[in-house]
Each structure stands twice: as C-alpha cells, then as structure tokens.
Structure 1
C-alpha cells in the first residue's frame, strides 16, 4: 500500500534539494503574487509542501516575520533548516500530512506549489480543501500552483492531476474568489520543461457567501 510519507522521505534522502525536478533557484512568480496581496509583514503565511523550497528565504529577505513551512518529509524540512542556519529559528517548521493538519491558528496567506496536484483521489482533495477552509482567515489569500493542462502527467514517479482555472474552481468550491491566474514554463535541473498554472484566490467573508435554501 502506498505511503505518502515514506515516499517523500525517500526522495529527499536519495536526492539533493537542488536536483529534484521542482527546484527553483528563485521563486519569481510565487513571490510576485504574494507581494501583490499587500498583506502586512507580520501576518501569518504558510508554505504548504515547501520543505526544501527557497521561497521562505525570499519571504524572510522581504521582511515577512510570521512564516510557517509545512511538509510531510522531515528530511525536506531539515535541508531548509540547514540552509538557513540561525535564521531557521525564526520560522515555524511543521511536519505533517496536509490532509490531516490541524492548524493552531488561522493564516492570512496559504501558498502551495507542491502538494495539491499530487492528490489524485477525490477524498484526499476534499480533506485538503476542508483543512484550507479551516486554516485560512476570511479575506485571506490563497496562491496555489499546479501542473497545467497539456503538461506533465507524472512527477517523482507519481501520477498527478493537471489543472486549468475551471477545474481548480470546481475543487475549491464557492468560498473562494479568483483574482488572477498566471502560467509558467518551469525548467527543471535536468533542463526539461514543465507547464505550471498559478491561481490567486481570496477567501470570501461570510457576508459574501450566498446561501441557497
């Protein structure tokens, strides 16, 4: 039986963080969208599946002070802690499967470039969205990236789900308002192209929700 945690622990044990296909030297589009939200520097940000990503480095350099990184792999988190040195003590590190995560507080911004497209089973996606809704404050910002339609069908030996804006909206439901969508051709360390789609949503407040009886 497939075990997500075991799989990702093995990946980060066998490969350097700079050798995995999703490695970005500079997360330009993620950073652009995060800065576009204009949230305050002390508001809570979580990077879901960001274990070895350098996004947290760039957010710290941009003076954001309330940063959390969640990953299912302890090895991935350890690589970032080692890279950041003393700075790592100023960041919250969360080892968890996102479908089982119980947030201690609500976040103002949720970023995910690494997880959602790996959830190929509808029940897992439903759990993810429920965690997202419970963890993101009303008016909060969601930046989620996934493999785009017509791109990769597998990653890290696993099947993935491709998304366009209609499919993403269908998964997230009525609680989120689309603000922007962007596309990116990511060049892997092996010099291959991967098509990504980025979606920026805000979570509607209760006043914005339409209740149909």
Structure 2
C-alpha cells in the first residue's frame, strides 16, 4: 500500500502476518484473469504498485513473467515477499517508494494496482498518482486497477478511503487512458467479511 505515511504501513506489516490483513488473497485470480483476457505476453514489463507481500509476484514468476517490478511504501512488506520467494526474489525488481512521490525509472507495459488508489483521498494525491502513471507507462500499456466500489468499505486499516466506480476512475486517470472493461468483485477477508471492489482495465493511447 502507498500514498499514506510510511510509518503507518510499516507498522501494519511489522505487527501483522501477511495473511492477517484484510486485503490478503491466497490466489490473485482477478489480476491473472485480466492478463489472460487481454492476451498480455509474459515478456511485457510489469509493475505492481503497492504489491507489498501479495502473492501476485509468485504467480507471475510461475507463469513465466520475466520483467517484474514491485513497488510499495512499506519495506517490511517487500521483505516478507522476498523471504517467501527465496532465491527467486532475485528475478524481481523491488522498490520502496510512495507512489505520490515516485519517479518511475522506466516505462512499463502493464501497470497493476489492487487497492492503492482508493487510499488517495486528496486531489493532490490523485494528481501525483496520475503523474507517475503517465511517466511509467508505455504507449498502448494496459492499466489494471481495483478499488473499493461505491458500496464498499468507507475505511480500511484505520484510514479513510475514496470509493470509485468505472466512471470516476476513468476521470481520475484522464483522457490518455481508454476504459476497456470493468467488473465487480466481492472479496472475502481472512475473517470472512465481504468487501465490494470495482476492477477496471484501461489502455494508454499510442503516443
């Protein structure tokens, strides 16, 4: 998770096991399904924003993805993922960074964000996210974003969130990105509570 004080997220991941946070999922099915649905090849440069201790990176490596970067504000979260992967962690680029201050070092063909953007409740935070998105995506890149839906939680991890639908996400990303598809998810937390998400896939215009 990013876009919030580093101390908060560092404390979250220091105090809890990766499987004890509400956003944990044993299988990142919606993320993987989107990659298959749009026929995205495993050679595409991929960045996971707020990837933390998510198992998505494991699944990508198993499926042959060869150019993967994980960005997160919480160093303990990335350390947990690296420890889980063992020697395979060397096949991934890891960056501790706040997305609202991050300067992408390159452009990616897939930008993935599952539940970072809804923590960006201030207009200036969303503008900073968009600035990083524009700097970090190549022409024709696909952008996969999930946030809490309009009927989703109003808070997460003790912080307020801004809920979205496909239209508000499209407006926030700007005219450079075309909405290709959207769908809803009912995510079950490790303790069985249902959380409503909206998923969107956008494509960046060809420069």
Count of residue correspondences: 205
- Specify the alignment match of 2:99 in structure 1: 98
2:40 pairs with 1:26: no
Post-superposition CA distance 1:155-202 (Å, at most 9, x none): 000000100011111111100011100110000011100000000000
- Specify the alignment match of 1:48 in structure 2: 49
1:114-193 alignment, distance < 5 Å: 114-193=115-194
Counterparts of 2:4 and 2:196 in 1: how far apart (Å)?
Answer: 27
- Specify the alignment match of 1:210 in structure 2: none
- 5+ residue gaps, structure 2, are none
Post-superposition CA distance 1:130-162 (Å, at most 9, x none): 110110001000000000011100000000010
Post-superposition CA distance 1:15-34 (Å, at most 9, x none): 00000000000010111002
Moved over 6 A (4+): none
- 5+ residue gaps, structure 1, are 207-213
1:103 Cα offset (Å): 1.3
2:72 pairs with 1:71: yes
2:81 pairs with 1:80: yes
Q: Is the 8 A contact 1:180 1:199 kept in 2?
A: yes
- Specify the alignment match of 2:197 in structure 1: 196
Counterparts of 1:115 and 1:171 in 2: how far apart (Å)?
Answer: 14
Secondary structure of the residue aligned to 2:115 is coil
1:3 Cα offset (Å): 5.9
Counterparts of 2:26 and 2:41 in 1: how far apart (Å)?
Answer: 25
Secondary structure of the residue aligned to 1:111 is strand
Secondary structure of the residue aligned to 2:18 is coil
Q: Is the 8 A contact 1:48 1:114 kept in 2?
A: no
1:105-116 alignment, distance < 5 Å: 105-116=106-117
Give the number of the structure whose alpha-carbon radius of gyration is greater.
Answer: 1
1:46 Cα offset (Å): 0.4
Counterparts of 2:115 and 2:166 in 1: how far apart (Å)?
Answer: 17
Q: Give me the TM-score of the superposition, normalised by structure 2.
A: 0.97
Counterparts of 1:114 and 1:77 in 2: how far apart (Å)?
Answer: 16
Counterparts of 2:150 and 2:138 in 1: how far apart (Å)?
Answer: 30
RMSD: 1.1
Q: Which has the larger displacement, 35-44 or 193-202?
A: 35-44
Q: Is the 8 A contact 1:50 1:114 kept in 2?
A: no
